Amino acid sequence: MNILDLSHAFTSHMPPFPGDPTSELVQTASVAKDGYTDHRLTTLMHVGTHIDAPLHMIEGGAYIDELPTEQFFGPGVVLDARGKTAIDVDLLNGKTIKSGSIVLLCTGRSKFYATPAYDTEYPKITEAFAKALVKRNVKIIGMDMLNPDVEPTFPIHKILLAHPVLIIENMTNLESLLSVPKFDVVALPMKLHTEGAPVRVVALIL
């Protein structure tokens, strides 16, 4: 079995979501000076490769640590959305998406990660597409871009998280899956009592 990492490393220079404070990852001790190494992390949850739980946008929604572990595992389906300005239901044509699948959107935007263009230039996901994923009982939608929404009211977040289809943002390396016929996805977040969390996502190529 081959394992493909789909996550950005969390570093001291992680770009925040526009308008959010910058995260800090600071070394606080070293082996040479203290006999051990330690770091301090100060961050919001929605930075780097992370997963949104329902509480992020839904009043009374579940915290990430309240979700069953089974929510974070599933058969993967990758959709090629490179070059598109809108991601609509036509992208699902010819695709078999079973109940419990984890759908990954490959937009090609990860190559612009940590640049100004990454924050402003990405395709719009339509409400019809989001509702189609809900109808198919998808567990998670992941993407190699900043955000499934372009509107400041976050309608796509709300459609997905209300059902709940979890959302993974800022993935990478999805192009490597386009030629893979069958794979599973494992997306285990930190077990935090929060509305989202950093997540290490991998594809298990079968």
Tokens of 125: 């996901």
Tokens of 88: 């609509």
The per-residue pLDDT for 2 is 95
Burial of residue 60 (CB within 10 Å: 0-12, 13-18, 19+) is exposed
Tens digit of each residue's pLDDT (9 = 90 or more) over 172-196? 999 999 999 999 999 999 999 999 9
Q: Enumerate the domain spans of the chain.
A: 2-10+45-205
Tens digit of each residue's pLDDT (9 = 90 or more) over 73-91? 999 999 999 999 999 999 9
The secondary structure of residue 111, as a DSSP letter, is G
CATH number of 2-10+45-205: 3.50.30.50
Q: Which residues pair with 77 in a beta bridge?
A: 103
Indicate if the pLDDT at residue 70 is higher than 80: yes
Tens digit of each residue's pLDDT (9 = 90 or more) over 9-40? 999 888 999 999 999 999 999 999 999 999 99
What is the pLDDT averaged over residues 109-128? 95
Percent of the chain whose predicted confidence (pLDDT) is above 90 = 98
Indicate if the pLDDT at residue 1 is higher than 80: no
Q: Give dist(CA 3, CA 175) in Å, integer.
A: 14
The per-residue pLDDT for 23 is 95
The per-residue pLDDT for 13 is 84
The per-residue pLDDT for 33 is 98
Q: Give dist(CA 146, CA 78) in Å, integer.
A: 17
Indicate if the pLDDT at residue 63 is higher than 90: yes
Indicate if the pLDDT at residue 168 is higher than 80: yes
